[in-house]
Amino acid sequence: MAFIQGAWKILVAMKDGLALLFLLLFFALLFAALRAGPNPASVRDGALLIDLNGFISEQPEAVDPLIPLLTGEQPIREYRQRDIIRALKLAETDQKVKAVVLDLDSFLGGGQSSLAAIGDAIDRVKKAGKPVYSFATAYSDDGYQLAAHATQIWMDPLGGVLISGLGGTQPYYKGLLDRLGIKANVYRVGTFKSAVEPFTRRDQSPEAEAAIKAVYDEIWGQWQADVAKARPAARLTGLLNQPAASIEAAQGDLAQLAVRDRLVDKLGDRIAFGKFIAAKVGGDAAKTTGGYAATPMTALLAANDPSDNGDPIGVITVAGTLVDGKAGPGTAAGDTVANLIYDAIEDKDIKALVVRVDSPGGSVLASEKVRLALQAAKQKKLPIVVSMANLAASGGYWVAMPADVIFAQPSTLTGSIGIFGILPSGAQALANIGINTDGVKTTPLSGEPDILGGFSPEFDRVMQSVIENGYRDFLGRVAAARGKSVEQIDAIGQGRVWAGGTARRLGLVDRLGGMDEALAEAASRAKLKDGAWHPQYFEPAPKGWAALLGDAAPAAKAAVPMDLFARAAWAREEQWRRISADIQMLSGSDGAQIRCLECSAIAGTPVFLRRSAGSNKAEAGWFGAILRAAFAKP
The b/e string for 255-278 (b: 16+ C-beta within 10 A; e otherwise) is bebbbebebbbebebeebbbebbb
Residue in 114, 394, 580, 612 annotated catalytic? 394
The b/e string for 100-109 (b: 16+ C-beta within 10 A; e otherwise) is bbbbbbbbbb
Spatial distance between the Cα atoms of 611 and 585, rounded to a whole number of angstroms: 10
Q: Is 193 noted as a catalytic residue in this protein?
A: yes
**Beta bridge partners of residue 44, listed in sequence order:** none
Phi, then psi, of 196 in degrees rounded to 5: -95, -5
Residue in 98, 193, 484, 617 annotated catalytic? 193
**Beta bridge partners of residue 272, listed in sequence order:** none
Spatial distance between the Cα atoms of 190 and 505, rounded to a whole number of angstroms: 21
Provide the residue count of the chain. 634
Strands (E), 410-566: 413-415, 419-425, 497-499, 511-512, 533-538
Output DSSP code: residue 542.
P
Whether 488 and 481 have beta carbons less than 8 Å apart is answered as no
Spatial distance between the Cα atoms of 235 and 323, rounded to a whole number of angstroms: 45
Task: Name, in order, each residue with C-beta under 8 angstroms of 287's C-beta and a sequence gap of 6 or more.
Answer: none
Phi, then psi, of 521 in degrees rounded to 5: -65, -40
In order, the DSSP letters of 391-446 are EEETHHHHTTTT-SEEEE-TT-EEE---EEEEEEE-HHHHHHTT-------SSTTT
Is-cis flag, bond preceding 449, omega within 30?
Answer: yes
Using a 10 angstrom Cβ sphere, with 0-12 exposed, 13-18 middle and 19 or more buried, the burial of residue 454 is: middle
Output DSSP code: residue 287.
B
Whether 136 and 159 have beta carbons less than 8 Å apart is answered as yes
The candidate with the shortest Cα–Cα distance to 362, out of 403, 402, 421, is: 421
Spatial distance between the Cα atoms of 608 and 360, rounded to a whole number of angstroms: 8
Using a 10 angstrom Cβ sphere, with 0-12 exposed, 13-18 middle and 19 or more buried, the burial of residue 517 is: middle
Q: Is 394 noted as a catalytic residue in this protein?
A: yes
Using a 10 angstrom Cβ sphere, with 0-12 exposed, 13-18 middle and 19 or more buried, the burial of residue 324 is: middle
> Mind telling me the catalytic residues?
193, 394
